[in-house]
Amino acid sequence: MRVAVTVDDREPAGLVEAVRSHADVSAVAVDRLAAGDLVIGSVAVERKTPRDYVNGVMGRAGPDLHDQLERLAASYDHPYVLLEGDFTDLDTMRTSIDPAAIRGSMASITARQAVPVIPCTDRRRLVDFAIRLGRKHAEEPSRRPLPVGSVPSRREPTTKQMYGCIEGIGPELAATLYEAYPTVAELVEASVSDLERIDGIGETRARAIHTAFHDSGQY
């Protein structure tokens, strides 16, 4: 499935070219958007560098991120914030703000404003992930039945459900993983060796989990 993408005309030319060069993009329009930086159907993406994110969420410089997200959520069915840059940049930036507080703000926005904040390591991966989001929201859900008990119940927290969808991770291990890493942001920081320390997770499963959240080709 290919999708049409609208890019805000204030975004850099490099972003427009990255969108145009994606194999799953059928058309690209560059226009002034009232909210968001990339729009694909009902999906809107606010693109932030780690520094832009910190400045916006802490109200230090530039637009207030919370105000931006309120407009985004009011205008589109599926709003997202994608961070363009290495996630470890949050720990190395010269700022007086505790990196843990920054990660906490990401979890807070995801949980309380219902706008997922997702780190993407570079522009290519950000564009690829945004387009995959657009496709997934537009496509009909797969009709292939899943084995009973293959993923956690819909009554479980969304994060635990996500963990249960990783190849080789069923409900029990998803619960164990959720206890160790209750937010995706925390799991993204974990190394393969960190994951291997969890009961029931060996090297193969640890690598599968790590790949699922660091390889854009997985979803």
| pLDDT tier for residue 215 given thresholds of 50, 70 and 90 | low
Percent of the chain residues past pLDDT 90, beyond the cut: 43
Could you tell me where in the chain the CATH 1.10.150.20 domains are found? 158-218
Instruction: Kindly state the average pLDDT of the residues 133-137.
Output: 93
Instruction: Kindly state the average pLDDT of the residues 82-105.
Output: 73
- CATH no. for 158-218: 1.10.150.20
For the 3-138 domain, the top CATH level (class) is alpha beta
From the list 78, 109, 97, 91, the residue with the least C-alpha distance to 183 is 109
**pLDDT surpassing 60 at residue 144:** no
Residues 39, 29: Cα–Cα separation, whole Å: 10
Instruction: Kindly state the average pLDDT of the residues 122-148.
Output: 80
From the list 44, 64, 67, 41, the residue with the least C-alpha distance to 52 is 64
Could you tell me where in the chain the CATH 3.40.50.10130 domains are found? 3-138
Instruction: Kindly state the average pLDDT of the residues 102-131.
Output: 90
| pLDDT tier for residue 8 given thresholds of 50, 70 and 90 | very high
Residues 66, 72: Cα–Cα separation, whole Å: 10
